[in-house]
Amino acid sequence: MDDQPRPLPPLPPSRLSQLPPPPSSNTYIIQIPRDQIYRIPPPENEIILRNLDIERASKKKKQLDPRCFYWLSSIAIVLILLWIFFAVFRAYFQPKTPEFSVIGLVLRKGSSSNKHANPSYDITLKAQNPNKNMDIFYKKGGNVSLLFKRDRIGGGEYPSISQESKESTTIHVTLAGLATQLPKEIETRLNAKKASDGPISLSLVVSEPVEFKGLITFKEHLTVTCDFRVNKFALSTKPKIISQECRTNF
């Protein structure tokens, strides 16, 4: 038996035309079935990667720029410092309104030449300067009014005085009786022989330009309203003040 390989039969001419041309030197061709060819990345991953790139780009845009963060921090620090400054300014330099109270009232007869003249009123006030670092100067041009209900029964000027910080001052004011008809209740009490009609309510209103002086000077217009009650209301008497409430504002 002959073991030598038999030569391959020659290919038909139709098959020879389908073969690829012979390779050149040092060139090799490897043929792989089509179903075993893979792409990197696979086609289905392209959409996922594209979406990831878009999402990363949008996140990067939303991230705070370090320069923007620096400016925001600077603005916040400036606002905090301004708040601290105004808090200190308000605590030490903003003026507090003085505290008033009525401590005395005396009724005087009218002019001797006119028996029907309305009485005058001597009023004693106490003013307290609550400011630690400011003096108060009460300027000219202020006025004081005494009212019964809504009727003004006396008026006069507020004196020009000065107060040092934390100083308490006693102020005397004389209010002339107005040349108008007094309310009937007041007139009845003044003509009574005895002051036995019980308490009466009155109001004292002070309108006064003031100046607060410290490291900084403030000019304000002060309004004081004191509602008080006295136990009697008669000529040449010194009524006792039994209750009062004073309000002071600019």
**Contact criterion met (CB below 8 Å) for 170 and 198:** no
Residue position matching structure tokens 């000019």: 219
Q: What is the pLDDT of residue 4?
A: 59
Lowest mean pLDDT among 31-40, 204-213, 225-234: 31-40
- What's the whole-number mean pLDDT along residues 230-240? 84
Q: Which positions ≥6 away from 220 have C-beta within 8 Å?
A: 95, 209, 210, 211, 212, 250
The structural domains of the chain, with segments of one domain joined by +, span: 34-92, 99-249
CATH number of 99-249: 2.60.40
Q: Is the pLDDT of residue 33 over 80?
A: no
| Nearest of 163, 122, 147, 135 to residue 204 by alpha carbon | 147
Q: What is the pLDDT of residue 116?
A: 58
**Contact criterion met (CB below 8 Å) for 119 and 174:** no
- CA 104 to mean position of chain CA atoms: 39
Quote the mean pLDDT of the chain.
81
Taking the C-alpha atoms of residue 32 and residue 37, their distance in angstroms, rounded to an integer, is 7
> What pTM was computed for the model?
0.64
Taking the C-alpha atoms of residue 8 and residue 92, their distance in angstroms, rounded to an integer, is 117
